Amino acid sequence: MSGTAAHEAVLRGVVDQWKSAVDAHEPERVAALFTEDAVFQGLHPYSVGRPGVAAYYGSQPIGLTAEYRVLETRSLADDVLFGYLDVDFGFTDRPAIHVTLGLVLKRVSDRWYIAHYQVTKLD
């Protein structure tokens, strides 16, 4: 794979796991995809670490789904990737919310984790 294709494959591998856990409403599984010291910024005040990620996704309504499209990927260092995505969060009882999502992925041993997660709602 070329550098860009390889970076996007890594990003999709992590984001597909995130999507699966979000869609299944499994907040602990979502949190396990993050580093122990991840900075997490959803649409509420930020948190640091897996407990904050789990609490955030645990507070989301049953039936929440995430559909994403990769916009950009960049290698920041050998074991660090940046991803920028369009994400639509769907709900069972109200219109979807469209956001952009910036992620920093970090490789720890042979596995990639989310080290930084920042959502922006551009309305």
In the 3-class helix/strand/coil scheme, how is the chain assigned residue by residue?
A: CCHHHHHHHHHHHHHHHHHHHHHCCCHHHHHCCEEEEEEEECCCCCEECHHHHHHHHHCCCCCCEEEEEEEEEEEEECCEEEEEEEEEEECCCCCCEEEEEEEEEEEECCEEEEEEEEEECCC
Rounded-to-integer distance, Cα 42 and Cα 20, Å: 18
Task: Summarize pLDDT for 77-105 with one digit per residue, the tens.
Answer: 999 999 999 999 999 999 999 999 999 99
Structure pTM?
0.94
Which pLDDT score, from 0 to 100, does residue 19 have? 98
Task: Summarize pLDDT for 6-33 with one digit per residue, the tens.
Answer: 999 999 999 999 999 999 999 999 999 9
